[in-house]
Structure 1
């Protein structure tokens, strides 16, 4: 035994203490002194290492070292020095107690594993924050990959700690634990599914952070704010947060509006139903009134001229309006709406503009407007669409057409024919 390790022990024996008491007091005093020295070393090493990193962060143009400091990487690295100090000198304190020495060594090794895991976690969080500042990675699910690496790191760390505590060789311990792999797979089922889903989402570019998605199954309709290993967070337009399992992105159907936001316009696709019994052929005298509509003047002149030439070439009997070719009020209405939309300032003229008939239904004949607004912002888009339909609906009566709507309580009441009642002797 060295003189230094028993200096307190020898002193206590000289003072008349018995060997057992002297031995325990020797351990207590040396252990307290060792802990105090470790605290001092930890304090000094932290101050020095943090100061070095701060100086490097100020001198560097990149923000990576700033993120290292923010995520406490230097602080965690500084803990290595006192831990090595304890691992070197603590066993000497328990030199007379082999069992205690083994326990201290095992404890320090486990603490070393925990410290390494903290360092790895800090580094991964730093990489996560750094990648999010890069344009190419800003919308990628980096959180998922960080979580997967941390899960494997924690599993490896826990297995190493158990191997140290139980005294079993690491390889032998892994072999033993392999029998419980089915249980492990069951426990981490969601994490494994989420990991696979995250890879597929990233590779196939299915969803990015910032995308507007609609997921009716989960009641989600808003912007993706986070993609991690187990969940995707969607901030709905009412500012509520909906969480969706990550693997649902590849197992269920949802709508991603990125294509619309990346395009040059947002689609307007809406129809109004016209009563079919209000559709009619137009006589020449009726066309004079429609020529007063500026958007139809040139069209009516050109179109009616072609129709007259066609009918004359075939010697069509126009005493009956049905014969030959004729303009209809519905056809003029469609042409008017087409021209109106083509001249609307809120419509993207470089994308498709179409006014078409759909198949007749029991609610009338649908006339659909298909176009794209130049402004894709939701509020402006709704304003443009409402502005168009305000005008179109108000224009319908000018073409002697009627819009179908179900009878309301006011106009669905039966009318009484009092003359008919009187003729039947009913008062």
Structure 2
């Protein structure tokens, strides 16, 4: 191009002619002229590169300041203007060097070879910059916030590097890119073995995204890897989880489809978070309530209407069937545990932190050596962890404190101090009995 527009051959040989006129050897004059021309060329190219880079970067900055979109801001952060600014200088070198080195074919081939390699790498850098810009820009968009963009960009980047390496090898070997790609087919088994984890990660990333298994921001629990926290990053090969103790756990991406884990997104998107805990009640504290007990319990506002209605039904049944009510076991009678269960149910319905539209249940579980489990099953309206724990604690604080009002006791395994106290009492009783025993 430059040769057609402006013949620089006489200019490039000017110093050579001057050196010969000064009596220098023709060969030495030629090499000295070549060295000086190369220094001048690369100095000029470096200057052009500096000017263009500054001009392009400043132009981009001025342009980004006038636009509202952030895409061009990410272009600057990824050095896109810097790489684009190198295109013109390298084209100047590519077009000028054949004229300067026309008498030095070996050096010309080496310089053209290195220039071609640089152009290939420069194109790869430009595409890498565009991919990074696209990834960072899409992450700012709400609709792409939870998508595994890193995985997709890594796959594209790998593809670009493979194509770039194919062009490099093609330049080195002198074979066409198509022939080089065909020769790679014979080594496909080795390539698959080398990139096994990458391929598995890529397939897993697609399945994770298409099936919506995990999103960035999801709370997951993966016991196999000790992960319990929020997903912060989904890459081609790994998923990064920030645990609630602020540590990080890295999980292979393909493990999300190969192993079982727990995703709490459904809970976070639902109207409530489940509370499922039990109170163990001492079994020998369960009893039938007397009329005196009922009168006392009627002073509890939440269950007063229930007790009144329920007792009428009990009296009606017993009277109809001529039941002997001198023994509470005959006929139908209320128990303190049954009344407390109804109280707990009424308390949950009255609690402002419980979602009444979801399951709400107070039930017995099978008796155990640790007492009778009375399970509370309900859903808190507030799903935030700290508020959820506060609501659950508030409910059980109240119910445990309410047990004595119904004549019930909470089961608690005896501690060392309890056993020691019991042993001391038994010893004192034994000693007292011996002291008061009459002489025969």
TM-score interval, smaller chain: over 0.9
Q: Matched residues in 1 for 2:11 and 2:181: separation?
A: 42
Aligned to 1:418: 430
Say which SS state the counterpart of residue 327 (structure 1) adopts: coil
1:10 and 2:17 are equivalent in the alignment? yes
Cα-to-partner distance string for 1:296-337 (whole Å, 9 max, x where unaligned): 211100011111112222222323221222111111111111
- The 8 Å contact of residues 233 and 239 in structure 2, kept in 1 or not, is answered as yes
Which residues in structure 2 correspond to 1:292-331 (within 5 Å)?
292-331=299-338
Q: CA deviation at 1:420?
A: 9.8
| Unmatched runs of 5 consecutive residues or more in structure 2 | 1-7
The counterpart of 2:62, out of the listed 43, 55, 68, is 55
- The 8 Å contact of residues 144 and 229 in structure 1, kept in 2 or not, is answered as yes
Aligned to 1:386: 393
Q: CA deviation at 1:419?
A: 5.9
1:226 and 2:233 are equivalent in the alignment? yes
Cα-to-partner distance string for 1:331-383 (whole Å, 9 max, x where unaligned): 11111111112112222233222111122222221111111122222112111
Q: Matched residues in 2 for 1:19 and 1:166: separation?
A: 35
Aligned to 2:128: 121
1:370 and 2:377 are equivalent in the alignment? yes
| Unmatched runs of 5 consecutive residues or more in structure 1 | none
1:142 and 2:149 are equivalent in the alignment? yes
The counterpart of 1:285, out of the listed 289, 292, 295, is 292
Give the alignment's Cα RMSD to 1 decimal: 1.9
Q: CA deviation at 1:277?
A: 2.2
Q: Matched residues in 2 for 1:372 and 1:18: separation?
A: 97
Cα-to-partner distance string for 1:142-183 (whole Å, 9 max, x where unaligned): 011011100111111112101101222222222223332222
Q: Matched residues in 2 for 1:307 and 1:8: separation?
A: 123
The counterpart of 1:172, out of the listed 148, 159, 179, is 179
- The 8 Å contact of residues 91 and 104 in structure 1, kept in 2 or not, is answered as no
Q: Matched residues in 2 for 1:113 and 1:333: separation?
A: 79
Which residues in structure 2 correspond to 1:74-93 (within 5 Å)?
74-93=81-100
Q: CA deviation at 1:422?
A: 4.6
The counterpart of 2:347, out of the listed 335, 340, 345, is 340
- The 8 Å contact of residues 9 and 100 in structure 2, kept in 1 or not, is answered as no
- The 8 Å contact of residues 356 and 369 in structure 1, kept in 2 or not, is answered as yes
Deviates more, 1:185-194 or 1:107-116: 185-194
Q: CA deviation at 1:141?
A: 0.9
Q: CA deviation at 1:390?
A: 0.9
Q: CA deviation at 1:273?
A: 1.0
1:191 and 2:174 are equivalent in the alignment? no
Q: Matched residues in 1 for 2:108 and 2:433: separation?
A: 115
Cα-to-partner distance string for 1:91-135 (whole Å, 9 max, x where unaligned): 323222222212211111111111111111110111111111111
Number of residue-to-residue matches in the alignment = 424
Q: CA deviation at 1:58?
A: 2.5
The counterpart of 1:24, out of the listed 31, 43, 55, is 31
Q: CA deviation at 1:2?
A: 3.8
1:254 and 2:266 are equivalent in the alignment? no
Q: Matched residues in 2 for 1:122 and 1:55: separation?
A: 20
